[in-house]
Structure 1
């Protein structure tokens, strides 16, 4: 175990290099907006987001080193620090806020202003950063060698290996460009459908299909074969087991919430009417199981963090690498955030609910900061924290007589702030770990986090309104699975008209999965989402499996291939997400005669459509491009 007293950062404390510069701020803000928007689109499509730290780092190195001919690892780190904030703000916002949009569409007496979205996004992000800062010395410095912080350490390794940054950045940009072109051809020009489906006539109620889109292939590669297979198992359970059973035993029945006989429904209607409630129960149970299993660790880490704060060294250090934001500044900004949350009427947050935010927020920020150091950001049970917060908050609101649309809106607002706090606290911890290893100035990184949060929060406001106006949340284009789950949780606690039998079927499926010692959440997510999403994710996972099990000359060559695939896949996700946002703009801009830009560029209106075969051919080419960019250098193999 490494001794933190003997640790020497890559850049020594007495060496001063550029960090916060116009270049790092502008490039960082740009990446925060890009990866925030891309992750918002991805999360609304498939219910998960991906880390932006390493892609932001390699893009930064490509631009700063190769284009601007500058050489500052600390400046590159500031770019990734600012840029990665966008993904965390996006995760918290899109997992919760779309629930209110859906209530508005359903006719509930609720409202949501642009100002409210911006305020809860930015204040939640700022609170997450500021709650974590006092923990830096306890978690990052004193626990160095104990808490690995996998993503933060990996990002530091990428930055230190900066001599290869130009090539790595090129891989990201290649994926981005190919995915952007693919998405525009498929969903912009509509040369071929981006979703293909098939239902089995002899096995009624069943169906398969896939969305032939770049981001899903990239997600599968990044997640790997194991997680992808769990999701696929959930999809098979829903579409090839439960749905055929519903049709076989209830064909002539009209079962709530549907209003027609099951035999009269299409496969998609059976899924929409029944499976999504079963899946919601499974995901909610999975989140709570994950949280309960983590409770001993949560209680222990919270106690250790508080103890570390009390026993921390009070002597001021003059070293550049020991300088944090002043505690007075931290307290002042926290107070300002709470005042703004209460003062803006459209947030519907009062002094009492602001107190709930402080209690839940500080607790989950403290827990999240240490847990990501142990298990990594991808295993941090943020969704379980959000569900627990929503349940407790909604129960309190209902007990105090705050019910109906107002009560549900307040619950989601509080849940949004807490979800963003937990997500951004974990991200800040990883970034500060990266900075500790390479020798950044913590105060500069913390300022960078604040800049990134503000930029991403403002961008998220526009992105969410734009996507809702273009397609709407809870639709086929944007299922918003996490937000739909949060919506069902709040409705259920408030006494809404939910099909509880279906929900409890999902809950006990999750319990069975847990008894089998299989990770619940990925299976539950696969059960909850259409199988069309799980199939391309599985293909990406299988490619990763194949590449991981090829014979290489050494481990270094294997790591190069794996990293190249992750970077290319990150580009695929970013490219599709960005074009998805552009197409949303096209869908709302009118060009006269009741047509939008999206209508004008639609080739199917001119009778040009390659059909499902064209879709499969283009997806095969996309798959081959992923393989090509990962095995580009043939000499790496035996």
Structure 2
């Protein structure tokens, strides 16, 4: 047990929160840019820690602002990145890259009402309605899933390891070992005495240890060349972004038109096949990893090279290929939706079954005893501590990973109870105020919040074990339910899904941050403060950023297709007496079944008999990810191709690494690529809003043109 004098104090500081807000502002605008473009939004925990540390290390202005301050501590960096993540992820939590654009895409013909375009202040009220409920949901789950069960939370653990490398301090709480990490490229996971992972996962965690030489090598990277790599990759990506704004042809190279010559067509102008050499999407591919980008590109080939021409030539999608209503893009979107729903539901099953089984078993065991709430009898705890103890469905034994933090560093239970009630009442009232009687009924919003509470338990557990928060599946489950509770109302269906998704997504994000803080002994209460401050600030930052983009660009349009909005709106329409495009149903059923089976094989592979062939287990690992496969349908080919390039770079780099993982230097370069385009997109947005357009549209007319974005 950690003693009082060993606890590191002073992690919640003005400078950590201030810099966290500044970093979060950058991440928020970056996520709006990428979210509107491809639906891709990231926590960016690693990037937050990197940027925050770099600001204190290299900017000469910081010592002048804080002349008597000590160097940034690891615990301050935890609070910094927690604040930044809370600020940066609001575009997804508030649906600014999904449900809000979807409401603006409604039509009188399809939905029986005009589109809903919220003013700035209405959008602020909506963001306030969903900004805090998930924060209060996460706090009481910490003791169960992090302290007692020691779930991995891979991204949170990776961020803790990176912070420890930046500050040249070992993780104080747990021994660690390297392992291969799938789509999360850099990770160092804790060895625990009692794993809650499935058997197959446990064997993987403990069976791939390598020499700790990698730690020294990573420390050297972050002491010198890593910072140069981050700077140069940022500059290169940012410069290419500005150059492509001035000369749009750079990001719309019709290189595939050569393949269309025998057919007398321009693949770029007519079929949306062009090359976008975006370094940011190359960086995303490095972070995603090779297997994910392969799945994405297989989906891209099936969707855009097979199903799109098929639906067009057979007259099932007679409109322009780029149209989401009458064109091939809208037709294949339905197939992608079927894949995502099938995989989301099947993937949630093992987590749901496991959780409900454990809860039921221990409930029946306790039903004969007098104790329902687990209490600690540690002498260091006062009566205030009782407010910090939460219902524990697993065990009430004192020696089962007891709480290591004193009461004054925890979030009091009274805060959580009152916060949940207050944020729920605030949410119900503000949603009613914004959308009125034609939107969603107050009781329906309340049901959505209850659903978010239940599904967030499953989502947090899935995130802790797999690094995947199934928020898209949670949102769709909510939509399915509300098609029954409030039928015939597309607006209510979309809003209900958004409310449930927001709560689950925020709870998951905060839990990753709490895992980072737990490993580095940061105060959970300080992180809670950072999350609340970041969420409040992001209400205004994210709203301003979204309105800035929508006032400058046509959304959806050639540059910002908003694929997530199409998914939300089309499912809502279908569930509310809508109709499907011609002949798409057999394809939806076929692809749904295939990827449902694949998801089941992956989810239950640990239940295979011990006598099963190792080849069979390995083969299951090589099956494509359904979500990534579907994203290949949703995004135009250029984005998937750029990510594949990055995935291949990660693969080659991992082959030359002694750990078998993507080296830290590659992750640093990828972070620079992503941040470079994201930050400089703010500059190009400002230029566009000021009336500055392309310097030259040369090349945009090749093959019929019409595919350059920007001012052409």
Secondary structure of 2:577's counterpart equals: coil
Residue 565 (structure 1) aligned to one of 650, 666, 669 = 666
Q: 1:530 is matched with which residue?
A: 636
Q: Out of 380, 388, 391, which is 2:469 matched to? A: 380
Corresponding residue to 1:180 among 235, 238, 255: 238
The change in CA–CA distance for 1:120 and 1:410 in structure 2 (over 3 A counts) is same
1:132 to 138, 156, 160: 138
Q: Which residue of 2 aligns with 1:29?
A: 21
**Aligned equivalents of 1:212, 1:63: Cα separation in 2:** 29
Question: Once the two structures are superposed, what CA deviation does each residue of 1:91-125 show, in whole Å capped at 9, x if it has no partner?
Answer: 23223221012227987253423334333334423
Structure 1 residue 477: deviation in Å? 0.8
Distance 1:426 1:209 in 2: 36
Q: Secondary structure at the match of 2:274?
A: strand
Query: 2:410 corresponds to which residue?
Result: 324
Alignment of 1:121-270 (within 5 A): 121-144=127-150, 147-161=151-165, 162-163=167-168, 164=219, 167=224, 168=226, 171-187=229-245, 189-190=246-247, 192-197=249-254, 198-199=256-257, 200-203=260-263, 208-246=273-311, 250=314, 253=315, 255=316, 258=318, 268=322
* Kept after mapping to 2: 8 A contact 1:130/1:334: yes
| In 1: Cα distance, 2:577 partner to 2:155 partner | 41
Match in the other structure for 2:392: none
Q: Which residue of 1 aligns with 2:86?
A: 85
Give 1:422 deviation, angstroms.
1.2
Partner of 2:45: 53
Which of 563, 567, 574 is residue 675 of structure 2 equivalent to?
A: 574
Structure 2: how far apart are the matches of 1:213 and 1:568?
Answer: 14
Give the Å deviation of 1:15.
3.3
Counterpart check, 1:362 vs 2:363: no
Correspondence 1:347-426 to 2 at 5 A: 347-348=435-436, 349-376=440-467, 379-398=468-487, 403=488, 407-426=489-508
CA distance in 2, matches of 1:184, 1:142: 49
Structure 1 residue 286 corresponds to structure 2 residue 343:
no
Q: 2: distance between equivalents of 1:101 and 1:269?
A: 16
Report how many aligned residue pairs link the two structures.
566
Matched, 1:312 2:400: no
Deviations 1:480-536 (CA, angstroms, capped at 9, x unpaired): 111210110011111235416325523422423444643211111112321121111
> 1:290: Cα distance to partner?
2.3
CA contact (8 A) 1:66 1:166 kept: no
Looking at secondary structure, tell me which structure has more helix per residue.
Answer: 1
Alignment correspondent of 1:301? 355
Q: What are the Cα deviations for residues 417-461 of structure 1, in whole angstroms up to 9, with x where unaligned?
A: 221211111111111111111111111111111111112232111
Whether 1:549 aligns to 2:625 is no
Per the normalisation by structure 2, the TM-score is 0.73
CA change 1:542–1:203 in 2 (3 A) is farther
Does 364-373 or 171-180 show the bigger shift? 171-180
Query: Per-residue CA shift, 1:8-49, capped at 9, x if unaligned?
Result: 6xx976334321211111111112221122122112212222
Distance in structure 2 (CA, Å) of the matches to 1:30 and 1:105 = 41
d(CA) in 2 for partners of 1:169 and 1:72?
19
Q: How many angstroms does 1:416 deviate by? A: 1.9
Q: What TM-score results when the alignment is normalised by the length of structure 1?
A: 0.81
Q: Deviations over 1:291-349 (max 9, x none)?
A: 23322312432675797995432664677555322222223232332333333311445
**For residues 395 and 215 of structure 1, what CA distance do their matches in structure 2 show?**
42
Deviates more, 1:65-74 or 1:534-543: 65-74
Q: Is the 8 A contact 1:64 1:76 kept in 2?
A: no
- Given the superposition, is the C-alpha separation of residues 169 and 461 from structure 1 closer, same or farther in structure 2, using an over 3 Å criterion? farther
- What is the CA distance between 1:81 and its match in structure 2? 0.9
Mean Cα deviation higher: 74-83 or 84-93: 84-93
CA shift for structure 1 position 268: 4.6
Gaps of 5+ in 1: 260-264, 590-595, 613-638
Of the structure 1 ranges 135-144 and 272-281, higher mean CA displacement relative to structure 2 is found in 272-281
Q: CA deviation at 1:471?
A: 1.8
Q: 1:75 maps to which residue?
A: 76
Contact 1:281/1:504 (8 A) holds in 2: no
Instruction: Tell me the distance in 2 between the aligned counterparts of 1:133 and 1:20.
Output: 17
Distance in 2 (CA, whole Å) between partners of 1:269 and 1:116 is 29
Return 5+ residue gaps in structure 2 as ranges.
64-69, 169-218, 364-370, 386-403, 599-622, 703-712
